[in-house]
Structure 1
Amino acid sequence: MMKIKTNPLFQLDYDVVNKGVLRDFLAEKEISKTTLTAIKYTGGQILVNGHEQNVRYPLQAGDRVTVLFPPEKISDGLAPEFGALSILYEDETILLLDKPAGQSTIPSRNHPSGTVANYVCGKFMAEGVPSTAHMVTRLDTDTSGIICVAKNRHIHHLLSKQMNENLFKRQYTAFAEGAITPSFLMIEQPIGRKEGSIIERIVRQDGQYARTDVCVEEIAENEATEFSVVKLALHTGRTHQIRVHLQWLGHPLIGDDLYGANEHVFARQALHCSAISFLHPLTKRRIECVSPLPVDMHLFLQSSRKGSVEGKV
């Protein structure tokens, strides 16, 4: 049995079933060495039956192990701010948000404040949560949709591990220029930085492995353009992955002028993170969250529809 508690420190309680060394028991619970170091030196505790013990302590069946995680310091340059957050799901460990287009995920030179991370830190401060904003997933400023935030470095570690093992699923809805055929394709092309640019990425053979699955749901058309309505599943998380892969395919996102699309057709890249799915880091229950198309994409599609692809998946 496991209880979750966050006041005043993030706390996990575990019942010991088999005897063994505390260090090994904590490793089985996926508590990293980095986290153990932070617990040792920055204010956390590891208790066995209510008494503090070191990691060499011999455990017996029936013991209760309590891990008190230390308070976390907010990074320099990430000032807590108070602003609106659209919360899709929240518990003691995770926060799922619906980010609007035009808001940055984290501070940068061009967007030093007003970001999702700033507002999350403000929310945590107001609620007495002793943590910083751990952004498990990020979206480009002009991409809308679901962002996952962890409330503790340990939870961030567990969710990042799921992403590395492809257990954390992300689905995007996008509008891409032209009619994409066939109706389903898998893009496996390595992505790297474009020479001379600190922002733009390209497909290049010495880049990092990247895979995007593309499913065409509909072909639509208006006076300005013909476009494909696509669902995309990410198997890797490279910077600008969807944007780069669709450009490589010859069908850049509508409105994505950085990657060759006509910026006058749509006011931003038409990309929305519409669904995520993962195992809850503690309960292991599958969490599934969806976000409907934002108003700008919905209205653009409604005014442009002319038909669907045969054999729609």
Structure 2
Amino acid sequence: MRRGRFAPTPSGRMHLGNARTALLAWLHMRSLGGEFVLRMEDIDTARSRREWAELALLDLRWLGLDWDEGPDVGGPYAPYTQSERLERYEAALRKLEASGAVYPCYCSRADILSAASAPHGLSSEGPAYAGTCRHLTPARRAEKALHKEPSLRFALPENREVRFTDGIAGPQLFPPGSGGDFVIRRADGLHSYQLSVVMDDADMRITDVLRGSDLLDSTPRQILLYEALGLEAPAFLHVPLLNGPDGKRLAKRHGGIAISAFREGGAPPERLVGWLAHVSGLIDRPESVSAAELIGEFDLARIPREPVVVDVPDI
């Protein structure tokens, strides 16, 4: 059985880009006769709020999407909310520690910036980590631990390139050391996205991950974690982003993009679904259509391979 998912972060109102990814992930599974899972990625409790999670469920249902398992309907692999799954992340972390795949890092952000000479890592993280703490002696680690609580980093296997074929972006090759050794638990105890998403998808038997292309460069990290934990990685499909007229990722600066604003303003959901389907290459013009009506015509080959420049729809 094929199983896909949509996993929003409830740190704000769901917007057009989120809705498009949700629609495409849902159509992908429904067109295959598969199961669709909804999961809340609220592991960053400082940014996540319950009201945003509840609003996301309301917005998704308004768009005509449903799910077989999720935080509100339950399922065999519950819980479907990350903040309730911390024991699973700790268990994975202990397994990685036991195998020697992680090490404590005492560097501050300033230390990392000052030592940076490697190419930049993930765009949200700045320079790739130079491995400063990777080869510290036990004595040196004990000395540093007296002054600072460490984060834990995953040690990238040396001389290991990562290859995979993305269902939309095509063949991918990431050379050894891409992005540098990465944090899987912060110094404040917060587990990283990379570790939590791997455990969630493995535990929930996800076979296909369709998500935005901004997460494409996270994929080799996740593949290496799957391998280190003895788990099978799903198939990955990364959808090019929606950009505003200025060529930058669609955001609030381009106008009202919150799905709740369209819903509360009385817009018919079929018109918004039709617009999302049109900018995703699924239909020739932005006509009113329900999500269910798109299932029979869904084809991954029609999804654009480059970012799509759009104006905020007037619906």
TM-score scaled by structure 2? 0.25
Higher helix share: 2
TM-score scaled by structure 1? 0.26
Kindly indicate whether structure 1 or structure 2 has the higher relative contact order, using CA contacts under 8 Å at least 6 residues apart. Answer: 2
Higher strand share: 1
